[in-house]
Amino acid sequence: MSIEIKKSKKPIEYVKAINFLEERIDKMLKKKGRELMWILEHPSIYTAGTSYKENEILDKSIDILKTNRGGKITYHGPGQLICYFVLDLNNRNKDIRKLINIIEITIIETLKKYKIKSLSDRKKIGIWVRQNKKTKKVAAIGIRVKRWIAYHGFSINIKTDLKKYEKITPCGINHKNLINLCSIKKQNYSNLSSELIKNFLKNLKS
């Protein structure tokens, strides 16, 4: 089954994007839709996954949108690349761990292209870099599976406003342990999405 590639130039509202993903799932369950990979950006929003805790909201004045994805509380906004997908794991041995590995490898390979060394951690999901003897998170992963169709995806902080994370405990870690690509290395990241798509499609076939 071929995968539809979708890239949005203008920011897409979070709820609108998730509704689109769920509509695609329904179509796929009826054998009427294609798998999807969608690159986009969201306007500023805080979202809470299924395992979040109330004490992770440090600023009680902010609005939090509760979602059905896995994971805890995070922030989405300008300067952050979002990669959503809808993938049929019925055709991929129903292996969720393998899908997560594919995402991790894809991000690591892509950042390597930009001379940035990154790593995964089995105990702390996401992609990390070491800077000044500290390990900091540069990419987050959150997945939900419905009848073996996986959706949601991952995000990479390129030049996100990291001060927004001070209002929450993002993904269960201290906000000081987050970092932007532009803080690691100032360079042109305009082709990052194309590299991600190329590597993701390659790794899905492996």
Question: What is the CATH number for 162?
Answer: 3.30.930.10
Percent of the chain scoring above 70 in pLDDT:
100
- Name the CA dihedral angle for 91, 95, 96, 102, rounded to a multiple of 10 degrees: -80
Annotated active-site residue 171? The verdict is: yes
- pLDDT (0 to 100) of residue 174: 85
> Helix or strand or coil: residue 122?
coil
Q: How many angstroms separate the CA atoms of 108 and 198, rounded?
A: 13
Average pLDDT over residues 152-177: 93
Could you list the residue range(s) of the whole structural domain that residue 47 is in?
3-205
Q: Determine the average pLDDT of the residues in 11-28.
A: 97
Say how many domains are in the chain: 1
Q: The pTM is what? A: 0.94
Q: Which two tokens stand for residue 86?
A: 């809808």
Give per-residue pLDDT as tens, 57-90.
999 999 999 988 878 899 999 999 999 999 999 9
The pLDDT assigned to 42 comes to 98
Mean pLDDT over residues 179-196, rounded? 96
pLDDT of residue 124: 84
Q: How far apart are the C-alpha atoms of 4 and 2, rounded to whole Å?
A: 7
Q: Which range is least confidently modeled, 35-44, 76-85, 122-131?
A: 122-131
One of 12, 125, 171, 181 is an active-site residue; which one?
171
Q: How confident is the model at residue 8 (pLDDT cuts 50, 70, 90)?
A: very high
**pLDDT greater than 70 at residue 1:** no
User: Are 55 and 103 in contact, with CB atoms under 8 Å apart?
Assistant: no
d(CA 151, CA 87): 7
Q: CA 181 to CA 47: how far, in whole Å?
A: 22
The residue-averaged pLDDT of 157-167 equals 96
pLDDT-derived band at 122 (thresholds 50, 70, 90) equals confident
| Mean pLDDT, the chain, whole residue set | 94
Q: What is the mean pLDDT of residues 148-177?
A: 94
Cα–Cα distance, 139 to 124 (Å, whole number): 11
